[in-house]
Structure 1
Amino acid sequence: MPHARRIEGRLWELRLGDNRLFYFLYRDRKFVILHGFRKQSMKTPKKEIATALRRMNELLEE
């Protein structure tokens, strides 16, 4: 069963086995998937979080 947790601000992580998807709630109650990767360590790499945050901020600046 998938699990979700808040990463930072509006950014969430969806956990599906070893796979991770970062998403956030966009305008009009739409979810946007920003980035996905296969997790290979206990901690979520900061590089992966930074990629998702950058993409989210680009969308919010439009």
Structure 2
Amino acid sequence: MKSLTREDRKSIGEDIKTAQFGWPIGMPLIRKLEKGLWEVRTTLEDGIARVIFTVVGNRMILLHGFVKKSQKTPKNDLETARKRLGQVEANDNE
């Protein structure tokens, strides 16, 4: 995400803020991926940014962000988010 333009990062941030303060909301901004994982969807000039997150209590925890070029969420990006979700859940249970 650091390689994106300032405008693109601002758009993503605004969508995350909308999701955070409007939770729970659905499509087209938020899509549930699986149990405990949702994605914020931001349309950019060069693709579609996705920020995968989870919700623990009243906290929105961002797990992984990327710009996707294809229709389907790349498997490695989903695996990264799942791994980080596991870490969040482990820390939350301590």
Please indicate, yes or no, whether the TM-score normalized by the shorter chain is above 0.5: yes
Q: Which runs of 4+ in 1 moved over 4 A?
A: none
Structure 2: distance between partners of 1:48 and 1:30: 22
Which structure has more RCO (C-alpha within 8 Å, separation ≥ 6)? 1
Q: Deviations over 1:2-52 (max 9, x none)?
A: 61111110100110011000001013x100000000011111111111100
How many residues align structurally? 61
Query: Any gaps of 5 or more consecutive residues in structure 1?
Result: none
Percent identity, aligned pairs only? 34
Structure 1: distance between partners of 2:75 and 2:39: 13
Aligned with residue 3 of structure 1, among 3, 21, 29: 29
Greater C-alpha radius of gyration: 2
Structure 2: distance between partners of 1:45 and 1:5: 15
What is the RMSD computed on CA atoms of the aligned residues?
1.4
Structure 1-normalised TM-score?
0.90
Pairing 1:30-45 to 2, within 5 Å after superposition: 30-45=59-74
Structure 1: distance between partners of 2:30 and 2:75: 18
Structure 2-normalised TM-score?
0.61
- Write 1 or 2 for the structure with the bigger share of helix: 2
